Chain A
Amino acid sequence: MTSVRPFRCLDRRALVTSLVVAAWLLLSSWFGHSFPVGSAPRIILGLGQAGALAALVLVLKHSISQLDELEQRIHYQALAIAGALIATVIGAWAFLEYAGLPAIDWSLYAMPAFTVAWASGVVAITQRYR
């Protein structure tokens, strides 16, 4: 075993799943626009997107569970911080929207922002244990 490498959970399986899910989300979004809002095909595509995200979460959870206990701790702390941060930002922005600021479609930004916050958290927390 070598030094702590929490990002080694991003193994081939996790990376391939991430890419497939990302491609599926983009393609189904693009394809979904050819159907009217509220139509059965669009709802089915939406359910497919939700299912793909759930599958990605399960694969990442499995990958993290293969890490040693300190690396797992780093990830779970980073996930907790990222979740709290994104929830706070979205909640805070809702108040600002009431105050007149422009509405933001968080379905576009929430996942990328969460991923960046998670990765940043892992990097920052790893420094604490060096």
Chain B
Amino acid sequence: VKNTVRELRAARQWSQGDLAERLDVSRQTVNAIETEKYDPSLPLAIKIARLFSLSVEEIFGSAEERAPKRRDAKSG
């Protein structure tokens, strides 16, 4: 599943290790999620979404899936 974890992390100037620490997972897990080699479990996806104050759908899914959410957020 495509995701924007790398962009969100970079925007906060966190290293993969910083994010791993905050999520209580290994740095390699963060790397595997960012490179889309590994899809996180729902609990971890929710944890990531909460950390970035976004919904799971806004972080995970294709660009098309994420776009309407962002438009809704802007119009709302």
Contact = CB atoms under 8 A, between A and B. Distances in A.
Contacts of A105: none
Interface in A62-98: 68-71, 73
A1 B40 contact: no
Contacts of A4: 26-29, 32
Interface stretch (B3-11, B17-25, B50-58, B59-67): B17-25
A129 B37 CA distance: 6
Contacts of A129: 28, 31-32, 37-38
B44 A3 contact: no
Contact of A1 (B17, B32, B37, B44): B17
Interface residues of B, number: 16
B38 A1 contact: no
A1 B21 contact: yes
Given A1-B17, A1-B20, A70 B29 contact: yes
Given A70-B32, A128-B37, A129-B32, A3 B27 contact: yes
Contacts, number: 45
Interface of A, secondary structure class, is loop
Nearest to A70: B29
Most interface-central of A1, A4, A71, A128 (chain B CB within 10 A): A1
Interface of B: 17, 20-21, 24-29, 31-32, 37-38, 40-41, 44
Given A1-B20, A3-B26, A129-B37, 20 more contacts: A1-B17, A1-B21, A1-B24, A1-B25, A2-B26, A4-B26, A4-B29, A5-B26, A68-B25, A69-B41, A70-B25, A70-B26, A70-B28, A70-B32, A70-B38, A73-B38, A128-B37, A129-B28, A129-B31, A129-B38
